[in-house]
Amino acid sequence: MKKVSLSASRPLGILIAGLCIAGAVGLGVYVAGQNSSYPSSDSAELDAEVVHMASTVGGRLIDLRVHVNQAVKKGDILYRLDPEPYQLAVRQAEANFALASAEVENQQRLVAVKTANAAVAKSQTERAQTNHDLAARTVERLKPLAGKAYIPWQEYDQARVALNNASVSLSQSQQQEQAAQTAIGDLKSSIAAQQAAQAVLEQTRYALKQTVIIAPTDGYVTSLRVKAGEILAPSQVLFTLIANDAWFATANIREIALKEVQLGACATVYSMIDKHTALRGHVESIGWGVLSADSAGIGASLPLVPRQMDWVHVAQRFPVRIKLDAANPALLRLGATATVEIRHGAACP
Amino acid sequence: MRAPLLRPVGLFVTATLLNGCAAQGAPSFSVFGAYFPGWMLCGMIGVAVAVGLRVLFLACGMDALLSLRLFTYASLGVVAALLVWLVWFGP
């Protein structure tokens, strides 16, 4: 084995060493700059929106038309609940509505009768008024005659009594007319009852419609583990539908590199299902907040402040949401690992 | 003594570099179901290059010209690793 001298006396050796070190440092600085101006993440995840399929009404599942992992189209019928209880409720509400409508008609007839009664009372008052006027004129006429004894006092007295009677009759018939007018009433309460019955009917029809569950979007059925016959409570989730209309990659990017992430910037995404196929995407948004250990005390009575022991602070990362362009569906699975390169990579020339 | 040592190292370096050229894909490679970042592979390549160059220079006698060998070889390894990163994953 040759003895290797460690002395630093050879100028050529020093020159080579200096060149190598300078090259390494220069290249290192350049690469660090490149790395921070073209952010990337190898811990991204593919993401999609989901719908937890449930009905607002409960009942027995009688018709399940999908199976797990099946692709469905928007508007497809996914499942049906037993509609019979809701059909019966609709029939009951229809009957109640018919009852309320009949009551309105009944009330209309009653109002008509009472209006006629009021008219009768009004003409009675007119008659009483006419009688009263006649009696008053008779008394007026007889008064001077009785004073000069052209007629017997008896006749004058009778006329005054007749006037008194006519006054009483007049006031009675006026009161009766008023009472009859008041008694006419209106249709308000019966119409309100009819409207309430109609609202109940529409509610039951809505509930009946909710027994058929329709796909709100194109998607994939997941975590479906039951068969027809299952009894579901209102709002009980039967399965999750992964929406297939838009796919995203969520990449956690260090805060120090966020200034290089512009909204709308091109991004190359590799799904690790096939890491050789580059998917193209665009930055859609950057998360506005993450929960950190230091902010966990919010809401508690006092702020939670740890004693300082860590002099080195690891950079916080924020989720950057990248909307993928149309891609091979086989590569898109919710939760798949992905790598993301923003503003560079095979898909962003 | 030297040739058998050199061969597997050279093979490894060539294979990984060729792999990098052929399979332009995600900057992440999987080993038994775990994903390792691309820069880690670059670092390993740098170490291999440093060791390989040392062996190569010893074989051809160039090593005798050098001084500050540790820094020289380490720098060469770093340069190799960074170049591989730039070529493979760089923007």
Distance between CA atoms of residues A153 and A332, nearest Å: 119
Residues A116-125 have pLDDT tens digits of 999 999 999 9
Q: Is residue B8's pLDDT more than 60?
A: no
How is residue B63 annotated by DSSP?
Answer: G
The CATH code belonging to domain A85-206 is 1.10.287.620
Q: Do A13 and B67 touch (CB under 8 A)?
A: yes
**Cβ pair A267, A322 in contact under 8 A:** yes
Distance between CA atoms of residues A179 and A106, nearest Å: 21
What is the domain partition of chain B in residue ranges? 37-91
Q: For chain A, 349 residues long, give each residue's pLDDT as a single digit of tens.
A: 555 555 546 788 889 889 999 999 999 999 998 888 899 998 999 999 999 999 999 999 999 999 999 999 999 999 999 999 999 999 999 999 999 999 999 999 999 999 999 999 999 999 999 999 999 999 999 989 988 888 888 999 999 999 999 999 999 999 999 999 999 888 999 999 999 999 999 999 999 999 999 999 999 999 999 999 999 999 999 999 999 999 999 999 999 899 989 999 999 999 999 988 999 999 999 999 998 776 666 666 777 777 877 788 889 999 999 999 988 999 999 999 999 999 888 888 8
Q: Do B26 and A7 touch (CB under 8 A)?
A: no
As a dihedral over the C-alpha atoms of residue A276, residue A278, residue A283, residue A288, rounded to 10 degrees, the angle is -10
Predicted TM-score of the model (pTM):
0.73
Beta carbons within 8 Å of B5's beta carbon, 6+ residues apart: B55
Three-class DSSP category at A133: helix
Dihedral pair phi/psi, residue A90, rounded to 5°: -65, -45
| Chain B neighbors of A268, CB-CB under 8 A | none
Q: Is residue B81's pLDDT more than 90?
A: yes
Lowest mean pLDDT of A165-179, B38-52, B55-69, name the range: B55-69
Give the pLDDT of residue B31: 86
Residue (of A243, A254, A224) closest to A332 by Cα position: A243
Could you tell me how many residues make up chain A?
Answer: 349
The CATH code belonging to domain A39-82+216-342 is 2.40.30.170
Q: Which ipTM was obtained for this model? A: 0.73
Give the pLDDT of residue B61: 86
Give the pLDDT of residue A106: 95
Give the pLDDT of residue A116: 95
Judged by a CB distance cut-off of 8 A, whether residue B66 touches chain A is yes
Judged by a CB distance cut-off of 8 A, whether residue B15 touches chain A is no
Nearest to A275 among B28, B65, B66 (CB): B28
Beta carbons within 8 Å of B9's beta carbon, 6+ residues apart: B48, B51, B52, B55
Q: Do B72 and A17 touch (CB under 8 A)?
A: yes
Cβ–Cβ contacts within 10 Å for residue A250, how many? 17
Bridge partners of A291?
A: none
What is the domain partition of chain A in residue ranges? 39-82+216-342, 85-206
Q: Is residue B16's pLDDT more than 80?
A: no
Angle of helix B38-60 relative to helix B69-88, nearest 10 degrees? 140
| Chain B neighbors of A16, CB-CB under 8 A | 65-66, 72
Angle of helix A84-147 relative to helix A188-209, nearest 10 degrees? 170
In Å, how far is B37's CA from the nearest CA of chain A? 7
Q: Do A14 and B68 touch (CB under 8 A)?
A: yes
